[in-house]
Every structure is written in structure tokens, then in C-alpha cells.
């Protein structure tokens, strides 16, 4: 369980250990990417969409909201993740299909922002650097204007 300031809520993540270690979170997902981590939200989308909707509405990190969210999550773990809790990890096959279908519907791209007037050599260098993150992910180049210089 973690407190997510980004999403303003408590989150539970289901994790399949790899060689007795918590696996890294992949930056990008490809057809051959192994899915070993997934939020409880995804399990609820698959098994209990109405509970997912209830949980989604519990936004906030205040004590009262956290207690309500944790109660819903604890109940959901008992009701819908009991196989997982007893080490049946087959749910990860469903997570794999769900996540990869989302990626197929919303192809991954990497966008880099470069100041207008940057040389082609520098742009090529930046694109090559971005490609090192994941050569399978297309890189989009966007340009921005420099802020006017203060001449005082």
C-alpha cells in the first residue's frame, strides 16, 4: 500500500516477485514485456467494476478518506484477490492482456522539447539520447520559444 500524492489517494499494488526480489517497474510496455506489478484497481476492473468505481471516488489523503479507502481495499483483497494471496499468480496473465491492450489502443511515444533555433546536429544528438531510453518507442520532437531576455 502507498499514499499517492500524484493521484491523491491510497493505492494497493499486487506484485509477483522475480528471483525473490521486487521487480522494476517498466518505463515502456512492449508485447514481450513481462508484467509483474499491477494496481488493485486493475484487478477490480476485471473482477468487480462497481467496487472499482466506489474506490475511484474515494479521493483524498485525509485520515477519514484513507480509512474508508483502506477498508474498501482490504475487503476487495479478501473477496477478489484471495487466489493471489494464496500464491496463485495466474491473475498476472489477465493483467498482461489488459495492460498490453491499453498500450495497443494508446501507442507509447516519447516527446522531447527543444528550443527553437537549435542546430540539426544538436537535435539529432538529443533524439539519439532519447532513443537510448527505449529504441522501440518513437521519439517526437517539439519546439518552444525562448523567453525574451530581460535587458534591464
Name the grid cell of 33.
514485456
Name the grid cell of 41.
484497481
> For residue range 134-151, what is the model confidence (pLDDT) as tens digits?
999 999 999 999 877 776
Question: What is the rounded (10 degree) CA torsion for 119, 124, 129, 135?
Answer: 160
Residue whose C-alpha cell reads 539529432 in the numeric block:
124
pLDDT > 70: what percent of the chain? 98
pLDDT-based confidence at residue 152 (cuts at 50, 70, 90): low
pLDDT-based confidence at residue 6 (cuts at 50, 70, 90): confident
Domain range summary for the chain, segments of one domain joined by +: 2-105, 110-144
13: CB partners within 8 A, 6+ apart? 1, 2, 37, 38, 39, 40
Largest CA distance in the chain: 69
> For residue range 7-23, what is the model confidence (pLDDT) as tens digits?
888 899 999 999 999 99
Rounded to two decimals, what is the model's pTM? 0.81
Q: Positive or negative, the Cα torsion across 124, 125, 126, 127?
A: positive
Top-confidence residue, 95 or 1: 95
> For residue range 49-79, what is the model confidence (pLDDT) as tens digits?
999 999 999 999 999 999 999 999 999 999 9
pLDDT > 90: what percent of the chain? 89
Amino acid at each position: 500500500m502507498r499514499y499517492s500524492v500524484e493521484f491523491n489517494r491510497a493505492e494497493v499494488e499486487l506484485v509477483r516477485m522475480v528471483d525473490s526480489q521486487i521487480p522494476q517497474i517498466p518505463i515502456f510496455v512492449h508485447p514481450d514485456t513481462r508484467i509483474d506489478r499491477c494496481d488493485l484497481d486493475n484487478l477490480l476492473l476485471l473482477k468487480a467494476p462497481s467496487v472499482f468505481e466506489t474506490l475511484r471516488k474515494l479521493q483524498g489523503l485525509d485520515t477519514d478518506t484513507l480509512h474508508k479507502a483502506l477498508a474498501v481495499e482490504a475487503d476487495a483483497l479478501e473477496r477478489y484477490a484471495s487466489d493471489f494471496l494464496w500464491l496463485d499468480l495466474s491473475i498476472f496473465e489477465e493483467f498482461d492482456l489488459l495492460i498490453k491492450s491499453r498500450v495497443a489502443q494508446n501507442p507509447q511515444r516519447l516527446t522531447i522539447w527543444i528550443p527553437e533555433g537549435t542546430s540539426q546536429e544538436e537535435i539529432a544528438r538529443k533524439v539519439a539520447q532519447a532513443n537510448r531510453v527505449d529504441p522501440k518507442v518513437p521519439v517526437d520532437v517539439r519546439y518552444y520559444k525562448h523567453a525574451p531576455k530581460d535587458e534591464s
